[in-house]
Amino acid sequence: MELILKEDVQNLGFKDEIVNVKNGYGRNFLIPQGKAIIATESARKVLAENLKQREFKEKSIIDETNKIAKKIKSLNIKITSKVGSGDKLFGSVTNLDLASAISKKGSELDKKFVTLPGRNIKRLGKYVAKIRLHREVSFELPFEIVPENKK
């Protein structure tokens, strides 16, 4: 089922994007919640016209987003976590933990823009997260999970 998103939906897409979803997810969740509409021919034409009108504004937004992306890419992110036997963590590291670590270093970032491999991480080591700030701007950010210093 093809839908046009009316707002950002985590792990699916951004506002005004055309996405393919399973029929039940679209009919039972996205459409009743007001998060999407069915991508009919007329809805596609309206979307194309709206996107054309917004294209100029979008260019400045994309330029700004690219600056933010460059700033985030330059960060060296290390997340400390309590460790059990071996390299297993107590609990796990999620996209919220990574987003708050980036925010602490100076670049505000919402967790919905961060995608981790396997959604959460339960071991020490180096990983790469996908950051998608805009439909046109996405990049990979390497980070490391290190053990917390024992006192």
Q: How far apart are CA 21 and CA 139, in angstroms?
A: 24
Q: Based on the domain organization, do 75 and 141 belong to the same domain?
A: yes
Q: Based on the domain organization, do 74 and 142 belong to the same domain?
A: yes
How high does pLDDT run on average in the chain? Answer: 85
Q: How far apart are CA 94 and CA 116, in angstroms?
A: 7
* pLDDT (tens digit per residue) in 60-76: 888 888 888 888 888 88
In total, how many domains does the chain have?
2
Which domain, by its residues, includes 134?
A: 70-147
Q: Based on the domain organization, do 74 and 56 belong to the same domain?
A: no
Q: Based on the domain organization, do 34 and 103 belong to the same domain?
A: no
The phi and psi torsions of 119 (rounded to 5 degrees) equal 70, -35
* pLDDT (tens digit per residue) in 72-98: 888 888 888 888 877 788 888 888 888
Q: Domain ends where: 37, 61, 85? A: 61
DSSP 28: I
Evaluate whether 3 touches 36 at the Cβ level (below 8 Å): yes
CATH number at residue 96: 3.10.430.100
Classify 119 in phi/psi space as left (phi over 0), alpha (psi -120 to 50) or beta.
left
| Angle formed at CA 118 by CA 113 and CA 121, multiple of 5 degrees | 90
